[in-house]
Every structure is written in structure tokens, then in C-alpha cells.
Amino acid sequence: MKPIVRYTNALLLLLVVIAPLIAPLATAQGETIIVASMKYIKNPNPLKEETWYDWWLNLVTFDRLFREGPDLEPHPWLVRYYEFSEDGLEWTFWLVDNATWHDGVPLTARDVIFTIEFYKKYKPPAHFPNVDFITRAELVDDYTFKIYMDEPFVWLLRRFGYMIILPEHIWKYVAIAFEDPMQFNPLKKEDVDKVLDVMRREAPPEILEKVEAFVNKYGHLRIGSGPYLLTRWVEGELLDLAKHPNYFKEGFPRADKLVFKVYATAESQYLAVKKGEAHIMMWTVPYAVIEEAEKLPEIVLPKTPDVYVGYIGFNLKDPIIGNKLVRQAIAHAINKDFIIETLMLGYAEAVYTFVFPGFTKWAYTDVPKYEFDLAKAAQLLDQAGFKDVDGDGWRETPDGEDFELTIYTPSYDPVRVRIGDMLVETLKRIGVKLVNRPVDFDTLVDYVFNQHQFQMYIIENDANFQPWYFSSYYVEEQYQPGGNNPWGFINKDFEKILSTAEKTVDEATRIEMYYKLQAMLAEELPLVPLYVRYWMQAYRSELAGVVEMPGGALNFWTLINANLRGLAPEIPYTKLEKPVVETPTPTITPTPISPPPGVKTVTVTEVKTVTKTAEKTVERTITTTETKEVTETVTPAALKTGAIIGIIIALAIGFLAGRATSRKS
């Protein structure tokens, strides 16, 4: 037995020596972060950002000039420096020079100029307001551009800075293949083939080669520049995303793969996290399991205020709801205390302002609060001519006709369904029939935002409670299918004040203007603010890199930091540094310097003539291969390490082979 013990001990020693050497190989296999999502995306076309779930996919696949930080302020991202004229009408932006699209094509100022002109031409409701104020864009060089305005726009960094940038080398051909680019589905083979046919006729060969290689590998044309790229999708079930192999922020994202997996309810999302099937919830944890979740060591349950405000929206074009007094009566029939304390167990706060309360400087707190008062509600209905003239207990219209109201509530959220039920009961007490119709989210969006076939609905949103987005919502041009003004709120006095406010540089004056705008919204009531809930996105305790901020634990910063290695989160804003124009200097051959031990050096050979290189076929779908010609120089330290590993492995193999031979004999 002694020889066996000696061999066993030797083998264990070999494993101890090998383990730290092969650990990097295990890490290289990659980490997968799974997000439990409520719904699948509705619009793969980034021009149509109608739902929260569309937004999530766009958030990580399309980069922006600026990113909203945990402080809710804009911070440089693709921009490395910017400056503007004293009158605020001319802005110059310098971009980073190492950002690329997912297919390897460089992202340049030409893409930004193209995007501005594209949005101004086709006017997609989700993006056109972010460039509408720009009168002209000018290309300075590949990484510098200017924009000009006739009048100042004080929210420029929050609007233009946050817009999705499109790859010119894709969308210029989409616009040729499709009369309406918003109808293009980048995940649909027929649509992809249609665009590729145009590109084969008109695109430069070096561009076509990269795009075709990408399509052959991934099967779609949803090419962005963000930290993740789409690699696989199963309609209604999941989205697989892989790390952008050449992302310009070194070391990010930290996970190799990101999966949005659909779980239809908040309960099933929570169970997925609890069982370890997913790492973090997209939705907030159900109130019924909060006590349990707080006690589980494998679960972290943060409590952060949401930036989304729950509200009831009204159709101002409806013959009944279009009456302002009726809307004001309904507002008085909403018991917010009951909603907060009973339906939401105190994990929320009532909202009365038309700006997110967290933006304290901009939120006008003196707006009418429409406190719960059924006597006042009944008085307003009488004043509007809606009375019970036949004594049957139900009010009739001023023309003496019976009527019934309908409210759409999202079926997946029991809180908002219960709010609808509550309103049914309170309106019944003052003689108004209301039917609560819970529907799935896509149906609600279609009825409200596309067809405008509704009277009332409950939803949560953030942008229409941010003053810098008012001109994307409360304006006539957004009253269109797919637009942001489904209420049909059209008020020229409001738009005139809003237009002036967006040009007013003096902040104190501008604040007063936004107070007046909020007072007008409170009077006309296209919507009634209800609550801001505490957003509690449960996540696994082993998930590191989580950034808790207003809006929850799941956000852009969490998604690029998420890892299972215990790495703390970092916020890698781009440092603002004005580029210096370098004066050409004579070429000097440097004296070779030996690199530090263990460091692998890669010498990139710049070739001025265009050289086509074959792409290497890789089985794994989360990696891509650079097409640069490189010469690798392995240091002596690396050679020694490789030799040692080789010797150890050879000894281990020989030992195992010897053992196998002895067993046969």
C-alpha cells in the first residue's frame, strides 16, 4: 500500500501546484448573470421604445453620449469632452476613439450626425424630441462634431445626451429597404435579407464583410455599441446577450453573458431567485413574501424609492371622461391612504405633484391634492350635469343617457388590479358605474398608446414626471399612434410656456415656469399621480457588483458590474479631458525594454493598405475574433510558466498511464 500512498500524495501535490495556474482558465469560461424579467420585449426595432422591457434591452445594447448616474445626473460616457458657446447655441463634442459597434465597425462622429438627421427626418416619437431643437449638425472630424440651435435648450445633456445612437452603416440601408424604417424587424430573417440585399449593391466591401459575418454568426441585424450584444432569443421566453468583446470600457461588463428570462409574475420571479434559477428580479418583490425574504440568508432585499410614479391616465377625447369636472370628481374618489397602507402595506408614498418628488427643486408641492372626499366628488358630478334623473341609483349623462366607465389595469400586478377594484366601489357609492378590466401589459399598451381606445388606465412611468421630458409628453405632436400623449392633452398656452421654459437659462425663472406648468396639469388632469413605491428587487447574496440607487437595484450600473467573484461595483464615468492636437514628430526607434515577468505583450502592426483577413470560426456564441493582424511576443516568464505546466501535466499523464498498465496486468 505504501507505493500507492506515495503516488496519491504526489498526485495531490501536482494538483495543488496546477490549481493556481489553471484558475484563470476556469474564469475564462465566463460568468452568466440571469435576470428574472416579467415580459419579453415588444419591439426589437430600437426606434420603437414603447415598453419598459424594450427599454431594458436598449439600455445595454445601445450606448449613449452620457449616462445617468446613481445621483440621477448626466455623466460623460461616449463623450470625452464638450464645450459650448457663451450664448448656448453652439456645442462641440469630442468622442472617445476606441468605441466600436458589435460587428467591429468603429463608432464615430459620423454615426451621431447620421442619427440626428435620421430622427429629424423620420420623427420616431420615442427619439425625435431629443433632436428636435437642433437646427444643424456639423462633422469636424471622425471623432468631433458640432450641433447648432436657434435658441438655447437647457435640458440638452439629459435629452440629446441620453438618446440612442444608431450605426450609420446599418440604418442608411434600412432606410433604403423600408419606406418606413419603424416597420423594420432586425430579428426577422426576411427583413434582414432585405437590408443585406441593398448592402450587397451599395455598401463598401469592408463594411459588408463585417456585417455579413455578424449576421452569419448571430442571425440578426440588431447591431448596437453597448456593453452587451444579442446572441440568441426565444420569442416570449428569453434573451441571451454576450459581452461586447471590444467594449471601450476596459474590464466592463464584468460578466460574460447576460440573460433576460421571462417569468410571468412577480411571484415566479421571486421563486426563481429564491431557488437560484435567477440572480436578480426585474420587478419588485410581492408584498406577501417580504417577511420571508428578509429572513433568508441567500436573499438580499434592498429598499430603494422607485423613480416610476403610479398614476391613472384619462382619455380627454372621450365624451364622458373628456369633461374636466368628471376627471376631478374621480380624483376625489381615490383613497390614496388606503392604497398606501392597505394595498401596499406601507411600502410606498402618496404622490400629488407632477414631477417626481425626489427632484425636490422642481416639484411644485402647492398643486391641488384632490384629497379623498366623496361628497366633493358628488358635487362636481352634479355641477357637470351627471345626475340620477330616473332614481335608479345610477347617474345619467346630461342628455339623460345611461353610461358606464371602464378602467384598464395590468393583470400581472395585483396592487394595481386592487386599485381598480377599490375605485369601482368608491364610484359606486356616488352613483357611477365603473368596470375594472385587468389585461396583460401588451394589450394595455396597444389600447392606450396605439389605438387610443380607452377611458381610464393605470400604469407606472418616470419620464413624464421629469421636467426635462415634458416636451416629449404633454404636446400635440405626441398625440399619435405610438406617441407619448395618449390622453390627447392639447393646450397651446401650456406648450408656449413649456417652449419658453426650455430656453430659459436662469434657473430660478425656469423653476417658476415649471411650477406654473404643473399647476395647469393639476387643473386639466390628463392624469392623476397616485404613489411612488419602494422598489425591492430581491437578488442572490452571492451576486456582487450591485449598485442600489433610486429606481432599484437593477440598473445599467448593476448590469455592467454584476459578477459572482466578489468584485465591488465601480462607476467608470469617462474623465473629461480636452483633446490636444499633436504635432507630428520624427519617428524614433525605441530601445527594447523587457516587459515585467508574467506579462504577455501583443504587438499590433498597423497596415495602411487595406488587407482582408479571414474571420476565425468560433463555436462559442459569446466571443468574437478581431480581424487585426497581430504578432504575439511571449515573454521568458510566460515560456517558463508554460514549460512548468507542460512538465507537470506530462508527469501526471505518465503516472496515470502507468497505473492503467499495472491494472491490466
CB atoms within 10 A of CB 603: 8
Residue 431 lies in a domain: yes
User: Are residues 339 and 484 part of one domain?
Assistant: yes
116 contacts 133 by C-beta, under 8 angstroms: no
Model pLDDT for residues 16-28, shown as the tens digit of each residue? 444 444 433 333 3
Residues paired with 633 in a beta bridge: 601
Judged against a pLDDT cut of 90, whether residue 268 lies above it is answered with yes
Residue 218 lies in a domain: no
- CA-CA-CA-CA dihedral for 510, 459, 533, 429, to nearest 10: 110
User: Are residues 90 and 140 part of one domain?
Assistant: yes
Judged against a pLDDT cut of 80, whether residue 553 lies above it is answered with yes
What is the reported pLDDT for 582?
A: 62
User: Are residues 374 and 250 part of one domain?
Assistant: no
381 contacts 325 by C-beta, under 8 angstroms: yes
Q: Which of 480, 505, 534 is the last residue of a domain?
A: 534
Residue 132 lies in a domain: yes
Model pLDDT for residues 517-549, shown as the tens digit of each residue? 999 999 999 999 999 999 999 999 999 999 999
Residue 603 lies in a domain: no
578 contacts 94 by C-beta, under 8 angstroms: yes
Model pLDDT for residues 126-145, shown as the tens digit of each residue? 999 999 999 999 999 999 99
User: Are residues 434 and 322 part of one domain?
Assistant: yes
> Which range in 48-52, 167-171, 638-642 is most confidently predicted, on average pLDDT?
167-171
How many helices (H) and strands (E) are present in the chain, helices listed first? 18, 22
CB atoms within 10 A of CB 397: 16
32 or 615: which leads in pLDDT: 32
Amino acid occupying residue 380: L
Average pLDDT, stretch 41-64? Answer: 93
User: Are residues 260 and 336 part of one domain?
Assistant: no
User: Are residues 123 and 260 part of one domain?
Assistant: no
Model pLDDT for residues 567-610, shown as the tens digit of each residue? 999 999 999 998 886 655 544 444 333 333 333 333 333 333 23
What is the full DSSP assignment across 169-236? HHHHHHHHH-SSGGG--TT-HHHHHHHHHHHHHHS-HHHHHHHHHHHHHHS------SSEEEEEEETT
With H, G, I as helix, E, B as strand and everything else as coil, classify residue 325.
helix
Judged against a pLDDT cut of 80, whether residue 617 lies above it is answered with no
User: How far is 546 from 55, CA to CA, in rounded Å?
Assistant: 20
Residue 46: which CATH number? 3.40.190.10
Q: Among residues 532, 525, 524, 314, which one has the least CA distance to residue 407?
A: 314
Whole-Å CA distances, 524 to 259, 331, 365, 470, 506: 43, 11, 17, 15, 27
Phi/psi zone of residue 544: left (φ > 0), alpha (ψ -120 to 50 degrees), beta? beta
611 or 531: which leads in pLDDT: 531
With H, G, I as helix, E, B as strand and everything else as coil, classify residue 387.
strand
Residue 214 lies in a domain: no
What is the reported pLDDT for 305?
A: 86
Average pLDDT, stretch 244-272? Answer: 96
Q: How many domains does the chain have?
A: 3
Residue 253 lies in a domain: yes
Please provide the size of the chain in residues: 665
What is the reported pLDDT for 586?
A: 47
User: How far is 161 from 76, CA to CA, in rounded Å?
Assistant: 9
Average pLDDT, stretch 232-254? Answer: 96
Range of the domain at 255: 31-62+226-303+536-577
> pLDDT band at 382, cuts 50/70/90?
very high
Q: What is the mean pLDDT of the chain?
A: 86
With H, G, I as helix, E, B as strand and everything else as coil, classify residue 371.
coil
What is the reported pLDDT for 636?
A: 36
Model pLDDT for residues 308-320, shown as the tens digit of each residue? 999 999 999 999 9
User: Are residues 490 and 341 part of one domain?
Assistant: yes
What is the reported pLDDT for 377?
A: 98
User: Are residues 332 and 264 part of one domain?
Assistant: no
Q: Which of 10-19, 266-275, 472-481 has the lowest mean pLDDT?
A: 10-19
Residue 547 lies in a domain: yes
Farthest CA pair distance, the chain: 106
> pLDDT band at 661, cuts 50/70/90?
very low
User: Are residues 284 and 328 part of one domain?
Assistant: no
Q: Among residues 427, 422, 428, 394, which one has the least CA distance to residue 409?
A: 422
Percent of the chain with pLDDT over 90: 77
Amino acid occupying residue 235: E
User: Are residues 331 and 294 part of one domain?
Assistant: no
Residue 644 lies in a domain: no
Angle between helices 205-218 and 189-202 (to 10 degrees): 160
> pLDDT band at 10, cuts 50/70/90?
very low
Q: Which of 188-197, 273-282, 514-523, 581-590 has the lowest mean pLDDT?
A: 581-590
Model pLDDT for residues 166-184, shown as the tens digit of each residue? 999 999 999 999 999 999 9
Q: Which of 519, 550, 577 is the last residue of a domain?
A: 577
Q: Which of 534, 557, 588 is the last residue of a domain?
A: 534
Residue 118: which CATH number? 3.90.76.10
User: Are residues 74 and 36 part of one domain?
Assistant: no
User: How far is 231 from 218, CA to CA, in rounded Å?
Assistant: 5
User: Are residues 78 and 51 part of one domain?
Assistant: no
The structure's pTM equals 0.76
